Structure 1
């Protein structure tokens, strides 16, 4: 038990340090690429502001560089490094270790390309590095296979907690998504590692909320909308997931990566001349939606374009997460749906719809309803009264998703273990 506790603390510290370093690297690349806030990695100027103030020519050139790095980098990794092993696959093995060099190379490529403007997410990198460190340490210490699997899952959740400053969400991600159990032998180390990692990451990334959200007041109109709109978000998330899986499945792993990525990111750069909001993982559009700074027409345009550039990037062979991109899709879809609702039942700000929609789409697209609810609160730090519409919308989207999976995928969905068997 003392040895397991020591490993738990080390995994938390390691995931926190790696998440902090990857986060700082991302900021450095963003500032260097678009020429803003060159003297401070953490500044009041956002990535979207930096991109919007850059010249159109610079956006295209940076995206071409991004395509070149993505194509050459992932081609070289697939050609010369050991095959990648994702965390869910590793957790099914008696030896849940993932290849160190391949994982680190893949993580760095994700951070570099997202920093240069790739529309994919950055959260996959710290999760993968945290899990790799946990697997290596567990093997060196000599933990049992079951203990090693728990530590690897905790490392992944702690990496997520560190980069987004969401310790409770990192804990729940470990338990709900990776381990499928809330039993105390898993819950205790999951909580400890995520809290330690988030605390360690404060040193470099600070203790600020990821998004600033105005004060909302609950209304009957918002509650009714949340109940009615939830299933629609579930169906939309299922459709997006099918398209995303198809794009990844048909992505090249050979020499076609370079021309494919160059073409894809050139197209994205050209579109970004008119819509700079498309560059990056989607945090900029989410914040605009939360601030009520997105019109109904712009939200509809960004919704369509964001889905297209995400699928284009994945089909070309780029890699990255879908957490923040999924939230951005949900926020834009909610603004469109909320704007239409306001024509009949006015009075609710579009930003209120955006918060609910981001959580509902995230819950269904990543199949993590509990984690999505808590993450919506941790990322925005909204009043806890806002939990009610979020829960209603997430419940509806998750129920619709399960119907789609059972109807179209014909998959039996396992339940989550709440106690130790």
Structure 2
């Protein structure tokens, strides 16, 4: 209960901080922190010069912030490392600073996800509470994982998704000793966060229907999403591994985000974690050409930001990539078999890409259904696409290990160890 309450308050405060910085930086709906006006609309209404200025400021904050943290702070401990450690506690000052930097930079327009920050805050709190309560090492590990899931549940209002994330991704078990605290902490955190954020879901999706065309498309294109997800994970993994931690970090970060600002002058959909483009895809408000351009640019700036040394999650960027790719593939499919809305394609594509790229099929399905509140009829095409995507991802991993062992493609990505190569996913 204490972990759920603490993670809920932490997630709520981080979300309020993010919204407040967004409104202040881009100058929209400044009289109220939580407003009906979206971040995408706010960025679009801002002048092109303001976009460049804000994103350049983002580069300055990211570069100096993480350079100072690496130089003077205690070494960071990822959630995955803490869950496997004999002492699951994480360094409080460094972890809190790391989380705040992610929130501030995402609010200013970083293309990385904001979901790692509330997970880290929840895990830090759970580790501290577990130590104070004198829990065993095994119990403390479970609670640290539950704290991460509760933070995710709080910031995105996904109580079931947060619990399944803990069980599938962090602990790798659905035993009752893990299931009970995972469900309780996520439910409590989501409810607590609703007092400050409201009971809203992430995407307002119009009424969508399932057609035979969509079902067949899902089975055919599922493997394509898996192969694309594998390529995306390879790019981001290599970029993160090559990121500097010395004096080059502020320089590269400033240059990277200034370039993103210039791109944002023409493409206001680029700043942020990808929620805007994904929402446009779900609404059916993207053409194939624009979706293809945004997909290429989103992958490029996500990779470049990691290479420059910025930190953040890849959950919402992966979701957006899948939705954008689905618009392209679905639009092509509709030329030969019309009758399916582009939003329906986007929902299926987003789920399958997320499931494969993060190697969490069950969590991805639950998250997208909680994000969008689409009907249960979508389970059939979604599960078909997810199955094909995950299988295709594994085939790519095995192919790369067989034919390019010197490059170590796919190392750390296995069915039982989602994202081992990246502790701060």
Tell me whether the two structures share a fold, i.e. TM-score over 0.5.
Answer: yes
Q: Give the Å deviation of 1:413.
A: 4.0
Give, in angstroms, the shift of residue 42 of structure 1: 1.3
SS of 2:269's equivalent in the other structure is helix
Deviation at 1:409, TM superposition (A): 3.9
Aligned to 1:225: 217
Give the distance between the partners of 2:187 and 2:399, measured in 1 at CA: 39
| Aligned position for 2:78 | 86
Q: Which of these residues, 123, 142, 146, is aligned with residue 138 of structure 2?
A: 146
In the aligned structure 1, how far is the partner of 2:347 from the partner of 2:157?
Answer: 18
Distance, in Å, in 1 between the alignment partners of 2:90 and 2:395 is 34
C-alpha root-mean-square deviation of aligned residues, in Å?
1.1
Match of 1:358 in 2: 350
- Structure 2 regions of 5+ residues with no counterpart? 403-410, 418-425
**What are the within-5 Å matches in structure 2 for residues 237-248 of structure 1?**
237-248=229-240
- SS of the equivalent of 2:191 reads helix
Please name the residue that 1:102 is paired with: 94
Structure-1 residue corresponding to 2:422: none
User: Structure 1, residues 25-82: CA drift from partner, whole Å, max 9, x if none?
Assistant: 0000000000001111111110000000000110000011101100100000000000
* Residue 253, structure 1, aligned to residue 253, structure 2: no
Q: In the TM superposition, what are the counterparts of 1:263-274 in structure 2 within 5 Å?
A: 263-274=255-266
Aligned position for 2:282: 290
Match for residue 11 of structure 1? 3
Aligned partner of 2:268 among 271, 276, 291: 276
1:217, distance to aligned residue in structure 2 (A): 1.6
Matched, 1:175 2:167: yes
Deviation at 1:414, TM superposition (A): 5.7
2:326 & 2:109 partners in 1: Cα distance? Answer: 24
Q: TM-score, normalised by structure 2?
A: 0.95
SS in 2 for 1:344: coil
Which whole-Å CA distance do the structure 2 matches of 1:177 and 1:143 have between them?
A: 22
Q: CA deviation at 1:202?
A: 0.1
- Separation in 1, partners of 2:392, 2:345: 19
Which residue in 1 is equivalent to 2:376?
Answer: 384
Q: Which residue of 1 is the match for residue 328 of structure 2? A: 336
Counterpart of 2:317 in structure 1 is 325
CA distance in 2, matches of 1:152, 1:241: 26
Q: Aligned to 1:394, which of 378, 386, 401?
A: 386
Contact 2:210/2:344 (CA < 8 Å) preserved in 1? no
* CA gap 1:415/1:38 in 2 versus in 1, 3 angstroms: closer
C-alpha separation in 2, matches of 1:334 and 1:305: 16
C-alpha separation in 2, matches of 1:234 and 1:297:
22
Aligned residues: 408
Offset of residue 230 of structure 1: 0.6
1:405, distance to aligned residue in structure 2 (A): 2.4
Distance 1:374 1:62 in 2: 35
Q: CA-to-partner distance for each residue in 1:215-256, whole Å, 9 max, x for gaps? A: 112111000000111111111101110110000000000111
Structure 2 CA distance, aligned partners of 1:208 and 1:105? 28
Instruction: List gaps (5 residues or longer) in structure 1.
Output: 1-8, 417-421
Pairing 1:20-31 to 2, within 5 Å after superposition? 20-31=12-23
Aligned-residue offset at 1:415: 5.1
